[in-house]
Structure 1
């Protein structure tokens, strides 16, 4: 074979190899495209199926830690978990009321423990966590519930008031998650529940710093889910963000509701029932009542001034507490 013939032969082989590689890539892309669509519609159908036929995990034997358990939503959530057979760890800065929560649980035959903890202090959270692990066991469900809600215009808020609100409503979530998540990752088992608010979905007057803090909780949880879902060690760790409407806990001192039959205050018991249900069903985002979550998603499709007309008509807000 002459040198020119060899050259032609090599050229033909090279073109053939390149063409085969291109065809392979095209087929691979088509297959990937088909798989993406199959997965996409599978998860939609799965979601619809479990909405119609929900499954609830058994929490019997789980160790549930609840912040702000001395009163309000935290207390009612503690009572609910205890009634389902969970061991409840009640965390609060108010020792007297926190002990009363535990006594009530124990009087009903439940298993509960109380610990004084100032969630403003990261070191306090870590020290108390070590005691809980040694005395009770490894926390498998964390409910970040503690929060405060001063209600007045932004310009009437003091810098200390705003800082404290973010320390309790947001920063405490970071410290508690950093403290309890490592054991969940080690055991590949756990659930973190964060109390945001409908104020974390819609901006409201007289609640600017509060809304900002609850929007921050939403962002924290959504990004944490995204961060952990890429690690196969975390397949059995779940996250739930709760968005309660105005709950009758005393935080909403001067609620203004135009249609009280349609948008009445949620009772503490109803809120606790919904929180536990959402956690047991593994729902990532849940509003109380849940129609407000769908209303939020729908409102994002329209111009702001158009939705303002509807919100002004419904007129539900909190008046200044000053």
Structure 2
């Protein structure tokens, strides 16, 4: 009972902070400068990682690029250099903890302390539980979430020492909603969202508020990783649009980025609407893509 009375006493603050948030919607937030920062991007050899590297190169950052694909990685590094940035390419397997740690040591020795870490590398398998092989499930978690722990443990200490830095978690809308035939992927992205939220709170508890955090949660992106995706929420997102939103979110220190923004509204509805209505709503959203189904119903 005492707890609920204490909450009631907070209602004036709720009103004040709500009004403050509404006002901020009409006042553009100043973008911070990242010139000269050392930015490490995992999965930089293609897709969002490559485009993110290009944008940071335009901002005159020093790039550290990680990917398992040597050819794609070198192409990204060459373009970053053409854009006027220093770029250091490292072939790294983000499913391998020891490779991450040894590569992190090389980065510190050869380049310096990373001040912006973009955990972007990811894998996805579109299949039901029975068609998803055990090694595929393990790799999904190794790349999509465990790698975030290893990279952050490697580079966060220097950020905390200086009380300056930024940890970026590339998650997904699938980290907020369960989707059939993406069981391993959704589970790993739920974990990534939880990682971001808990890390944010931990940094605050340790009084390291100069180390910022951002989590990206987009809908389907036109990168080819998922075949023939569609949803009534809107057309496929173009990678350039997502990266522009991500960069703006980092520079304005936005904690959670939903693309489209309607996903944020849906996550709120899921907590308050009746379960049967949610089932109808999900049918209306109509998420579809090509998937391998291993479960077979026995014909009578």
Query: 1:293-322 CA distances to partner (integer Å, 9 max, x unpaired)?
Result: 222212321012202212212212323057
Deviates more, 1:50-59 or 1:87-96: 50-59
Residue in 2 aligned with 1:266?
237
Residue in 2 aligned with 1:246?
220
Q: Closer, same or farther in 2 for the Cα pair 1:41/1:188, shift >3 Å?
A: farther
Instruction: Pick from 184, 209, 234 the counterpart of residue 209 of structure 1.
Output: 184
How many pairs were matched up? 288
Contact 1:205/1:318 (<8 A) preserved: no
Residue in 1 aligned with 2:209?
235
Contact 1:204/1:317 (<8 A) preserved: no
Please give the TM-score of this superposition, normalised by the length of structure 1: 0.84
**Structure 1 residue 115: deviation in Å?**
1.0
Larger radius of gyration: 1
Instruction: Pick from 158, 162, 165 the counterpart of residue 190 of structure 1.
Output: 165
Contact 2:60/2:84 (<8 A) preserved: no
Instruction: Pick from 96, 121, 145 the counterpart of residue 170 of structure 1.
Output: 145
Please give the TM-score of this superposition, normalised by the length of structure 2: 0.90
RMSD: 2.1
Identify unmatched segments of 5+ residues in structure 2: 294-300
User: Quick check: 1:308 aligned with 2:294?
Assistant: no
User: Quick check: 1:102 aligned with 2:109?
Assistant: no
Q: Secondary structure at the match of 1:143?
A: strand
Contact 2:221/2:239 (<8 A) preserved: yes
Residue in 2 aligned with 1:4?
none
Displaced runs of 4+ in structure 1, greater than 6 A?
A: 30-34
Distance in 1 (CA, whole Å) between partners of 2:6 and 2:170 is 41
**Structure 1 residue 114: deviation in Å?**
0.9
Residue in 1 aligned with 2:298?
none
Contact 2:214/2:257 (<8 A) preserved: yes
**Structure 1 residue 94: deviation in Å?**
0.9
User: Quick check: 1:127 aligned with 2:98?
Assistant: no
Identify unmatched segments of 5+ residues in structure 1: 1-29
Query: 1:278-306 CA distances to partner (integer Å, 9 max, x unpaired)?
Result: 11111111111222122221232101220
Residue in 2 aligned with 1:218?
193
Q: Secondary structure at the match of 1:130?
A: helix
Contact 1:206/1:319 (<8 A) preserved: no
**Structure 1 residue 243: deviation in Å?**
0.4
Instruction: Judging by fraction of residues, say which structure has more helix.
Output: 1
Contact 2:38/2:114 (<8 A) preserved: yes
**1:1-322 superposed matches below 5 A:** 40-53=14-27, 54-232=29-207, 234-257=208-231, 259=232, 263-321=234-292
